[in-house]
Structure 1
Amino acid sequence: MHVAKYVPDELDRRIIAHLRSDGRAPLTSLAEALGVARGTVQNRIDRLLATGAVLGFTVRMREDYDDLTVHAVMMIEVIGKSTTQVVQRLRGIPEIRRLHTTNGNWDLVADIQTANLPDFDRVLREVRMIDGVANSETSLLLSSV
C-alpha cells in the first residue's frame, strides 16, 4: 500500500509561522490570530506532528543571550565521491549545529558554535583533518544586523 506524502496547505503554513515565533502560544491565541476554531488548530497541529511535517518544538535564544559564544559558517569542498563519509564524520562533531549541502564551488556548509576561540580552533583542525575534505573557508559571524 502506498502512503501519500502529506503536503501542508496555507493554513498549516500559517500555523507553523506562528509557532516559529512563539512555540508556546496557547491554542486559543493561535485560533484567534488565524481566524479559525481552536479545534481546527489542535487537529492541524496533531496532523503536522503525526505526519512528521513538524518534528517538535524547541527553544529559540535571543541572539545576544550569550555574547561570548563563537558562531561561524564553514564552507567545505569534498574530494570526489567521499561526501557521505565526510558528512558522517562532520555529524560526529557536536559543535557543528547544522550541516547543509549546497551548489557552486563548495559542497557543504557547516554552522559552527563553540564556547570560546580555543574550542573553535580545535573544531577547524578536526574538520581539516577529515579524509575527503579538500578545502574549507570559514567566516566568523560577528553581529546580527
Structure 2
Amino acid sequence: MTDLDETDRRILELLAADGRRPYSDIADDVGLSAPAVSDRVAALEASGVIDRFTVDIDRSQLREGAHVLVDLSVPPGNVDEVRESVGAADAVEHVFVTASGDVTCSARLPIEDVRAWVGDVVGTDAITDFDVTLLESADWRPSVGGAEFALACDECGNTVTSEGETARIGGSRYHFCCSSCQARFEERYERLDADA
C-alpha cells in the first residue's frame, strides 16, 4: 500500500467540495493531465480511500419547516437503535453520536411538531430526554485537509501502514496490517469457499 502524497490529498479536497468536478479542472489545479488525475482517482477508489460518490441534498430547498438541532439523551443500550431510526427519517440531514453516547441530528421540521416528531420517529421509551435548538443557518463542508487516512486491516482491524499488504481475494481487494493477518484471512476464506 502506498502513502497519499500532497497531490492525492488535494484531489480528495477538490472532490469533497464538488464530486462532479471535471478531471480537467482538477488537473489544472494540481498540475497534472486529466488522464493522470483519472488514474489517481481510480487508484484511490481501488485502495478503498474513496468509497463512493454521493449527492449532498440541501433538504431546506425541498421542504418547509425550521432548521433545528435535536439532541437526544439515550440510554447506552439504545444508541444504535435510536441512531438508525433518526437516520432513516425523511426530515433528517445529518446524524451524529457524541462521545457521551447521545444522538444529535440536524433536521428541517415544523417547529410546533418537534415533540410529536420525536415520539413518532424514536419513541419516548428509547430516550431519557431531548433538547431542540433552532438554527439560524447551517453549512456542511466535508474537509480532508489535515486528515490522516488509514485503512483498517480486514483481519484484525488494526491500522494498515505503508508496510501493510494488499491482496485481491475472490475478486475483492483486501488490506492487511501484516503478512500473518493476510495468511489467516486467506486460509479462512479458502475453508469457507470450499464448504460453499
Q: Same fold (TM over 0.5)?
A: yes
Given the superposition, is the C-alpha separation of residues 66 and 132 from structure 1 closer, same or farther in structure 2, using an over 3 Å criterion? closer
Question: When the two structures are superposed, what TM-score results if normalisation uses the length of structure 1?
Answer: 0.71
User: Which residue pairs with 1:141 in the alignment?
Assistant: 135
Give the 3-state SS of the residue equivalent to 2:131 in structure 1. Answer: strand
Q: How many residues align?
A: 138
| In 2, Cα distance between equivalents of 1:64 and 1:100 | 19
Amino acid at match of 1:107: D
Per-residue deviation, 1:59? 5.1
Per-residue deviation, 1:118? 5.8
Give percent identity, aligned residues only.
20
1:40 to 20, 36, 45: 36
Given the superposition, is the C-alpha separation of residues 10 and 122 from structure 1 closer, same or farther in structure 2, using an over 3 Å criterion? farther
| Residue 56 (str. 1) matches residue 53 (str. 2) | yes
Amino acid at match of 1:55: R
Q: Pairwise mapping of residues 120-139 of structure 1 onto structure 2 (< 5 A)?
A: 120=114, 122-127=116-121, 129-139=123-133
1:91 to 87, 91, 95: 87
Quick check: 1:75–1:137 contact (8 Å CA) kept in 2? yes
Per-residue deviation, 1:134? 0.8
RMSD: 3.2
Quick check: 1:14–1:34 contact (8 Å CA) kept in 2? yes
Gaps of 5+ in 2: 140-196
Per-residue deviation, 1:27? 1.2
User: Which residue pairs with 1:107 in the alignment?
Assistant: 102
Per-residue deviation, 1:8? 4.6
| In 2, Cα distance between equivalents of 1:7 and 1:70 | 44
1:2-28, Cα deviation, whole Å (9 max, x unpaired): xx7x86543222112212333332211
1:31-64, Cα deviation, whole Å (9 max, x unpaired): 1111123222101222333325241142565x98
User: Which residue pairs with 2:156 in the alignment?
Assistant: none
Given the superposition, is the C-alpha separation of residues 54 and 7 from structure 1 closer, same or farther in structure 2, using an over 3 Å criterion? farther
| In 1, Cα distance between equivalents of 2:124 and 2:3 | 38
Gaps of 5+ in 1: none
Quick check: 2:73–2:102 contact (8 Å CA) kept in 1? yes
Amino acid at match of 1:88: E
